[in-house]
């Protein structure tokens, strides 16, 4: 086993601790990655706080970027020295993976939240015992991680890993929800509820798709200002006005054709469904604690034929979608870099705090 260090979640609502750990050898289908950077995502915070039952202590982090150190015997898609982004894990064998829907893998929860490999082992052990690994297949808040090869997206050696890291989850989630799931027509209308990193990524996706009415809804004026700079045609501060009334006014009483809820808040979800026009399509991408319920007015909504979908990881295939996002950024059409603030790794807990406070949209810790 090899010594490494990691920032470990030990208990709910408790700062991560820097610990020295031992990491085992990669399995035949795994790749040893030395991290360069990792995004900090809302999902890291809610798992730290045990909304989902990943066993603690755990090495979290799931928007990693780094350099391949070694590969298992069956790995052919990357080689030592390659620069890679890390995304979610999937089995590649079930019927949904085979249909090109890895974000809905039959074993998605186990592979991404279980804290163990399929055989029950963890990559990490410390002085106090086993520490959960393989969070979203990667556990990128560690200097070294053993990552299933399917989680990796190879990028050019010249690619700025500190910039690209968040593409592995949050950015592809928002943009993919629009481009992959909603697929709005040019000239259509869309409302995005929550102008954080995921919401702003959805707005960027709507701009790429050619939506002509893009409504950003949030409670923080600075976020709404940035959303407008990124392409929102209208902004609504839900602390100041009635959101549904504002959307009806913007759309001449019709409602929006498409909508995205990035908050996971039941009351927001209800407003999103109420805001949809005839045959409108709304998607939920925001995470809520297990067991949280929300309502839909099935009386008035049924006759207008709306569709409501839940979307995981932007309904994307990372190996093809992430390179597309990189190309769009290089063309100047996808300025997601405006969402990012970098932190030294030893300020990771400050990054968590700033994300929760809303003062930083997308923190990235740099190793």
Q: Estimate to the nearest angstrom the gap between the alpha carbon of 139 and the chain centroid.
A: 14
Longest dimension (CA), the chain: 65
- The tally of CA atoms less than 13 A away on the side-chain side of residue 359 is 7
Give residue 1's pLDDT: 85
User: What would the two tokens of residue 116 be?
Assistant: 């163990």
Of the candidates 226, 201, 231, the one whose C-alpha atom is nearest the C-alpha of residue 215 is 231
DSSP code, position 168: G
Pairing verdict, β 276-284 and 256-261:
parallel
Instruction: Tell me what pLDDT residue 207 has.
Output: 98
Q: Helix or strand or coil: residue 308?
A: strand
Report pLDDT for 70: 97
CB-CB neighbours of 249 under 10 Å: 13
Q: What is the pLDDT of residues 243-264, one digit of tens each?
A: 999 999 999 999 999 999 999 9
Six-digit token pair at 355? Answer: 């994300």
Burial bucket for residue 70 (CB in 10 Å: 0-12, 13-18, 19+): middle
Residue extent(s) of CATH 3.40.50.720 domains in the chain: 174-312
Distance of alpha carbon 97 from alpha carbon 230, whole angstroms: 34
Structure tokens at 325: 């996002």
- pLDDT confidence of residue 240: 96
CB 6 within 8 A of CB 124: yes
Contacts of 201 (CB under 8 A, 6+ apart): 170, 171, 172, 173, 174, 175, 336, 339
Structure tokens at 319: 């190996």
pLDDT (0 to 100) of residue 300: 87
pLDDT value of residue 2: 95
The pLDDT score that the predictor gives to residue 170 is 94
The hierarchical CATH code for the domain 174-312 is 3.40.50.720
Contact by Cβ (8 Å): 12, 50: yes
* Predicted pLDDT at 193: 98
Residues of the chain with CATH 3.90.180.10: 2-168+335-366
Alpha-helical runs (H) found in the chain:
42-48, 95-98, 108-113, 161-164, 170-176, 197-209, 221-230, 243-250, 266-274, 298-301, 318-330, 348-357
The single-letter DSSP state of residue 185 is: P
Q: Assign 225 to helix, strand or coil.
A: helix
Question: What is the structure's pLDDT at 352?
Answer: 97
> What is the structure's pLDDT at 208?
98
pLDDT tens digits for range 307-328: 999 999 999 999 999 999 999 9
How many whole angstroms separate alpha carbon 246 and alpha carbon 237?
10
Pick out the chain residues at pLDDT < 70. none
The predicted structure's pLDDT at residue 182 = 98
Specify the fold of 2-168+335-366: Quinone Oxidoreductase; Chain A, domain 1 (3.90.180)
pLDDT given at position 17? 98
What is the predicted pLDDT for the residue at 303?
Answer: 85
């Amino acid at each position: 086993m090899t010594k490494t260090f990691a920032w470990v979640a030990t208990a709910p609502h408790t700062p991560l601790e820097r610990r020295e750990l031992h990491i085992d050898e990669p399995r035949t289908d795994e790749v040893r990655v030395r991290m360069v950077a990792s995004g900090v995502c809302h999902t890291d915070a809610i798992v730290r706080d045990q909304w989902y039952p990943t066993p603690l202590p755990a090495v979290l982090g799931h928007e990693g970027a780094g350099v391949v150190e070694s590969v298992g015997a069956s790995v052919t898609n990357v080689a030592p020295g390659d620069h890679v982004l890390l995304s979610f894990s999937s089995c590649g064998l079930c019927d949904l993976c085979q249909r090109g829907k890895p974000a809905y893998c039959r074993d998605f929860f186990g592979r991404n939240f279980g804290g163990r490999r399929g055989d029950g082992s963890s990559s990490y052990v410390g002085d106090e015992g086993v520490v959960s690994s393989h969070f979203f297949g990667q556990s990128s808040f560690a200097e070294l991680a053993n990552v299933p090869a399917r989680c990796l997206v190879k990028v050019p050696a010249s690619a700025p890993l500190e910039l690209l890291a968040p593409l592995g989850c949050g950015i592809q989630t928002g943009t993919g929800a629009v481009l992959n799931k909603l697929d709005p027509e040019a000239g259509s209308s869309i409302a995005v509820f929550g102008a954080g990193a995921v919401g702003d990524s959805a707005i960027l996706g709507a701009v790429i798709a050619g939506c002509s009415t893009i409504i950003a809804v949030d409670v923080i004026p600075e976020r709404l200002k940035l959303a407008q700079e990124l392409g929102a045609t209208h902004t609504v501060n839900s602390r100041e006005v009635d959101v549904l009334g504002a959307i009806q006014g913007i759309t001449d009483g019709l409602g929006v054709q498409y909508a995205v809820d990035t908050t996971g808040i039941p009351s927001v979800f209800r407003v999103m469904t109420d805001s949809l026009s005839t045959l409108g399509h709304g998607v939920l991408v925001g995470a809520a604690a297990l067991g949280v319920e929300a309502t839909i007015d099935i009386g008035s909504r049924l006759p207008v034929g709306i569709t409501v979908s839940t979307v995981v990881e932007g309904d994307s295939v990372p190996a093809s979608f992430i390179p597309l996002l990189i190309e769009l950024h290089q063309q100047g059409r996808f300025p997601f870099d405006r969402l990012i603030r970098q932190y030294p790794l030893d300020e990771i807990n400050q990054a968590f705090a700033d994300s929760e406070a809303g003062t930083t949209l997308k923190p990235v810790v740099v190793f």
